[in-house]
Every structure is written in structure tokens, then in C-alpha cells.
Amino acid sequence: MNDRSLPLPTATPVKRAYEQVAAQIRQWIVTGFLGVGDKLPAEAQLCEQFGTSRSTVREALRLLSSERLIVTQPGAHGGSVVSKPSAANVSDGLTTSLATLVGASDLSIAEMVQVRLILEVPAAGMAAAKCGEDTVERLAGLVPDSVPAVEHLFDLDFAFHQELLEASGNRLLPIVALPVFEVSARRVPRNRLDQAMWERVVDEHRAIVEAIRSRDVAAAESAMRLHLSGLAASYELAIASDQASAVSAQSGPALAQPS
């Protein structure tokens, strides 16, 4: 008799029925078989085509609706229609998926900032090469003269990088890069980032703007590289400090030694 306690070949997890139905309809959409505004077949027809129950089809449609691939309207004259994708919807979906991945894995803050370096350093150079004076002034307006209250800092930081990515002239860059920014920022305990760090961020943003204003591609890229590299170090220190505090709190106060 064969011993089945030995390691078995790697098996692919079996998807649930509604996920398989959703995957097939999703394929119809992404390959263009179903275009924007096209109406999906009725639930009864989908049940017959996939050989599954109405509840399975409805779960599949709910999943596709949550992905904003379709819009489902209730009622006798309702149904599911392929929706028009928007940059915001795609970016939101990437943010959610990336946050889920990061939460369920050991991806480090350094890896996320490394991706930002890959995307945002050339973006700064592209902005220096092609953006107009209006864009430069908008970027400059997002660099405060002094460090504002901490509750506004992340929003201001996000707005600056969003404007810069859009200034690159590549419409895909903000869609791809901003989710990485947002998820990495969520990982950082804000109360562990000190005033000196934020003062440095403001100064670095100002240096990036000045390089872009001067149309100096190399200087803009160098300023962004310096900024993000320093940010990675600050983020790692903040996370390590927070983890050390959590361990200390769990272990409780040290017992007094007998004299």
C-alpha cells in the first residue's frame, strides 16, 4: 500500500462556484466580448449557461459589482450592465487589493518605498521636462512655509505627490503609484514621526519644486531620490519604535528585585 503521508505535489486551490462564474464574466469584459454599456444576460440565462444556481450567479454579480466592472439595477426592467472604468475606480481597486496583500503578507515598508522610488524618481524628471508654469505654482502652493498641524501633514504630503505624478504627463503613473503611497503611509504609526522629520520633508519638497521650476531633470530626479530614501529610513524607525513599545506594554512592568 502506498504511503500517502509523504509530501504531495503542489495543488491549486479550487475556487468557489461563484468565483468561477465571476472569473468567466470578467474575462468576457476584459477581452472586449462585452463592452461598456452592454447588458449581461438575465440571471436565468446565466444559470443555464453555467449550470449553477441563482444564488451562485447573484454572488458572482455582487463580486463584479464590488470591483466596479458592472452596475446592477434592480426591478423588472433592471439587470447588470458593463460599467465604464474610471481612473479613480481603478486606483481605488488597486489600493484595496494592495492593502489586503500587505496585511496578509510580510511585505516590508522598505519594499513599498522601493517601488515608489522606481515610479516617482523618473516622474519628477518628466515633470521637470514638460510641466507648465501653472503646474509648478500648484506644486509650490502645496509646500507650506512652516510645518502645519500633524493631522494635515499626510493629506498635504499625498496632495504634493499626486500633483507631481500628474505633472509627469503620463496618465497611468498616478493610478499605479498613488495606491503604493497610500498603503505604505497607512503602515506607519503617525505618532512616531517627529517634527524634525516633517521639517525635512517640507524642505525636500521645496527642493523638488525648485528643480522642476529650473527645468533641471537630473536635479529633480536626485531630489526625489533623496526624499524617498530618507522617508524609508524614517518610516522603518517609526515602525520599529512602535513595535518595541507594544512588546514592552505586553510584558508589563519589570518585577522589583529583592534586596
> Counting every residue, how long is the chain?
259
In the chain, residues under CATH classification 1.20.120.530 are 88-245
| pTM for the whole structure | 0.74
In the chain, residues under CATH classification 1.10.10.10 are 17-82
What gap in Å lies between CA 190 and CA 205, rounded to an integer? 19
Instruction: Say which CATH architecture domain 17-82 belongs to.
Output: Orthogonal Bundle (1.10)
Residues of the chain with pLDDT under 50: 1, 259
Pick the CATH number of 88-245 from 3.20.20.70, 3.30.70.580, 1.20.120.530, 3.30.200.20: 1.20.120.530
Write down the pLDDT at residue 11. Answer: 62
Write down the pLDDT at residue 8. Answer: 60
Write down the pLDDT at residue 10. Answer: 65
For residue 191, what is the DSSP state? G
Write down the pLDDT at residue 220. Answer: 98
pLDDT in tens, 57-86: 999 999 999 888 999 887 767 789 999 888
| Cβ-based neighbours of 125, under 8 Å, separated by 6 or more | 217, 218, 220, 221
Write down the pLDDT at residue 7. Answer: 65
Cell numbers for 18 = 461563484
Write down the pLDDT at residue 5. Answer: 56
What gap in Å lies between CA 122 and CA 221, rounded to an integer? 6
For residue 216, what is the DSSP state? -
Alpha helices (H) in the chain, listed in sequence order: 17-30, 43-50, 54-66, 87-103, 109-130, 133-141, 150-167, 172-186, 195-213, 217-251
Cell numbers for 51 = 449550470
